Amino acid sequence: MDGNGRWAQLQGKGRVAGHKAGVESVRACVSSARELGVKGLTLFAFSSENWQRPKEEVSVLMDLFMFVLTREVKRLHKNNIRFQLIGDKTRFSEKLQKKIVEAEQLTKNNDAMILSVAANYGGRWDISQASKKIAQLAVNGEVNVDDIDEHMLNKHINLSNLPELDLLIRTGGDYRISNFLLWQAAYAELYFTETLWPDFKEDAFKHALASFGDRERRFGKTGEQVRTK
Active-site position among 4, 50, 154, 203: 50
> Is the pLDDT score of 70 beyond 90?
no
> Is 50 part of the annotated catalytic residue set?
yes
Q: What is the pLDDT of residue 108?
A: 97
Question: What domains appear along the chain, each with residue ranges and CATH number?
Answer: 4-212 (3.40.1180.10)
pLDDT of res. 222: 83
Annotation says 4 is catalytic: no
Of 92-101, 108-117, 123-132, 217-226, least confident by mean pLDDT is 217-226
Of the residues 2, 4, 120, 126, only one is catalytic, namely 2
**The whole model's pTM is what?**
0.92
Write the DSSP string, the chain: ---HHHHHHHTT--HHHHHHHHHHHHHHHHHHHHHHT-SEEEEEEEEGGGGGS-HHHHHHHHHHHHHHHHHHHHHHHHTTEEEEEES-GGGS-HHHHHHHHHHHHHHTT--SEEEEEEEEE-HHHHHHHHHHHHHHHHHTTSS-GGG--HHHHHHHSTTTTS----EEEE-SS--S-TTSSTTTTTT-EEEE-S--GGG--HHHHHHHHHHHHTS---TTS-HHHHHH-
